[in-house]
Amino acid sequence: MTPEEVGARLVALLAPVEATPSVSGGQRFARATVDVPPASWLTAVSAARDDAELACDFFDWLSAVDELAEGFDVVAHLWSTRLRHGLLLRTRLPRGAPTVASVVDVYPGAAWHERETHEMFGIDFAGHGELLPLLLPPEFEGHPLRKEFVLASRVAKPWPGAKEPGESEAGGGRRPIRPPGVPAPGEWGPTPTPAGAGGVGEGPRGGTPARPARERPARPAPGARPARTPRPAGATDGPAPVDQPAPDAGLADQPAPGATAPAKPDAGPAAETVPGAGPAAETVPGAGPADQPAPGAPAPGEPGEGAAASGGEPIADPPGRDGRGDHDGGTA
């Protein structure tokens, strides 16, 4: 059955009682909703369970909604495990004397739901017999889910939402924010503001004076903003690059392999003396370590020791009679 058919079937069963069918939201989870008078509440619940076409054999939940001056709505959700459809039954009770018949005889599982609704909203279920506290301590006074119930704990303790993260306790020029469920100081408390204060939270007992709004400077128009300096193409957001020499810059002054080295200028009177060297130690400008002979090497232009005149091959000393050279201490 569709939700419309379920609602029409229950209205037909309750005739001539004035019942109003409708369909709740929720798209594919929509439920047939039927509003009945408080006097027909128990009759409607029994008809939804006993009718073969409805067969709502499963009790899901029962609760209430505070509608302020209009009273309280008691809502029960029933389900058919065989036909796979649901039904919402709803009735409205006056705020002054919210009383309705208990459905524990039809659905025993509704006992705890009625106890909780009685505890939170103050609604009486006639015929229940054991409306004892279920969630609150026995000494608790009031009904917390009624909208006029003041959340005193939020008044006594600082509410975290009254300040931005990092804002100090003493500082801040923002208007104080009241947490949900806490009335204005002039509407509740031992020291009400005189009536006629004409401020935020104005109520029967007055309200707190409104704080004048601060004027914020107007934002400049888009065309009035200063133009930004254009950035050169290829610029990045990081630090400016440091000029580095090219990798081949140090090789430009060196001769190619096999090429003749350029002539060096003659050392003249302007030659500089190396500090710490003797009077004969003079350096030629531009001369490097490679231009000086290695220690123990012959000077340029002089034949090396043991070198042949023709080919420059070394000449070995003739061996002695016992096979040893002269330099080894041998005898003739």
Residue 201 backbone phi and psi in degrees, to 5: 80, 30
DSSP label at residue 296: T
What's residue 26's pLDDT? 84
The answer to the question of residue 48 being in a domain is yes
**Residue 305 is encoded by which pair of tokens?**
């020791």
Is the predicted pLDDT of residue 208 greater than 50, yes or no? no
More confidently predicted of 296 and 272:
296
Q: How many CB atoms lie within 10 A of CB 293?
A: 9
Query: What are φ and ψ of residue 77, in 5° steps?
Result: -110, 120
* 325 is a domain residue: no
In-domain check, residue 179: no
pTM for the structure as a whole: 0.51
- Domain extent, residue 30, equals 3-126
User: Is 7 inside a domain boundary?
Assistant: yes
Greater confidence, 166 or 130? 130
The answer, yes or no, to whether residue 33 has pLDDT greater than 90, is yes
CATH of the domain at 11: 3.30.460.80
Residues of the chain with pLDDT > 70, as a percent, come to 48
Place of tokens 């003797």: 278
Q: 76 burial class (0-12, 13-18, 19+ CB within 10 angstroms)? A: buried
Per residue in 244-281, pLDDT tens?
655 554 554 555 555 555 555 554 444 444 454 444 44
pLDDT surpasses 70 at 126: yes
pLDDT, mean of residues 184-190: 57
Give, rounded to a whole angstrom, the gap between the first and last alpha carbons of the chain: 137
Q: How many domains, the chain?
A: 1
CA nearest 88: which of 40, 22, 177?
22
In a domain, 232, yes or no: no
Inform me whether the pLDDT recorded for 175 exceeds 90: no
Beta bridge partners of 20: 35
Scanning the chain, the segments in alpha helix (DSSP H) are 3-14, 41-50, 111-121, 152-156
Q: What is the pLDDT of residue 15?
A: 93
